[in-house]
Every structure is written in structure tokens, then in C-alpha cells.
Amino acid sequence: MDLTEAIEYPFKDPEWRRKAIIGSLVALLAVPFFFVGIPILLGWATRIARNVRDGGPAILPPWSDLPAYFVDGLRPFAATILWLTPFLLIFVISASLSGGSTSDDGAFLASCLLIPLAFGLMIVAGFASPFQFAVAADTGSFYSAADPVSVFQFVRASPGPALAAWLISIGSYYVLSTLGTLLCLIGWLPALVYQHALWGQAFGQVLRARRLQSTVG
């Protein structure tokens, strides 16, 4: 995993400033229309991952194909939501139990036991989300991204590079979101675009290495 390559990749495009501005306007959709804006950004990152995987030039995808980006990004987005569903269900059940009669010690105990389970499932879903993105980018399949076995096999095939890409994607999210917030919130928009570019490039490296390995093998 080449961290320098991932960091510098977006700036190798001669038109990166214009694309960053347009991307920031697209990212603005994620504020009022979360379920539209985020899949589009994920779809854009998917194009980057596939381009890197296929050895294409370091050029950011144009923002002229938003419907296709939405479809591509909807696959990992929906897969993550699916993995979060057990957390949401258990959390609702726990809340309903704790909101019942205070004299029902059994319901209160069950609620206390369910809350750690719910948050444990949430952590698992959050941990797997970048890997689901990579699987969807490589296969173009929602079912593969939602399949725990496919996600596990992806990580097991190249655990070092996969975890390095995961660290880049998660670390860049927290660093860039913090910097964007400090820059009067406006900086959050280009930071979100840059974070998805890093996400796509890092996992594109993993997919490229896997493809080369399978070719040699």
C-alpha cells in the first residue's frame, strides 16, 4: 500500500480544482438528501477504485454521470444499511423494554444486556463498511458486498493491504472532517470529496494488487 500515491492521486489531475468545486456542490446534497448524496460520492469513489485497479491514468472521474454514480454507490451503501439493521432492531427493542414499567426488573435487565449487543453490531458494521465498498467496486454486486463470507474472503486474501486501505479510509474521514469543520464548516464539503477520492484510490491499489497476483498465479 503506497500512502503517498493515495494522498497525491487527486492532485495529479490537471482539472482537480474544478472537479473539487463541482464535487463540493454534489457533497452538499448529502446534507438535505443523505440517501442520495452519499451514494453518489461512493459511486464516484467506485470509479476511482476501478480506474486504479485497471491501471488507468490518474484522472478524477468527471461529475457528468451522476445517475450511474448513484447506482454504483447504492450497492455498498445499501449493504452497509443492511448490516446496520440488526443494530437498529435490537436498539429499538432495548429502548421499548427500558421504557416500560420500572417495576419489571426482567425487562430492565434484558434492556441492559441488549444495548452492548446492539452497539457491538454497530461497530462490526462500521468496521466492515470500507471492505463492502471494495467488494462492490470489484464485483459490481450488491449481494457480494452484503455477503459476510465475500467480505471476509476479501480481507483474508490480502489482509495487510486491505487493513492499510481501511486505516487510510477511516483515518482520513476523521482527520478531514475535523479540518473541514474547523474551516467554518464550508471546508467540510471539499474534505468529503477528497476523503472519497482517497478511499477509492487506496482500495483501488488493493484491487490492482489482487488482480496482478491472480494473473501471476
Of 80, 47, 66, 72, nearest to 201 by C-alpha is 47
Model pTM? 0.85
Mean pLDDT, range 62-71, rounded to an integer: 94
Q: Look up residue 29 and give its DSSP letter.
A: G
Q: pLDDT (tens digit, 9 = 90+) per residue, 41-52?
A: 999 999 999 999
pLDDT in tens, 96-120: 766 555 546 566 666 666 677 777 7
Question: Cβ atoms within 10 A of the Cβ of 200, count?
Answer: 33
CA triple 69-188-205, angle to 5 deg: 50
Distance CA 131, CA 80 (A): 10
Alpha carbon distance 73, 18 (integer Å): 22
DSSP string, 49-70: HHHHHTT--S-PPPSS-HHHHH
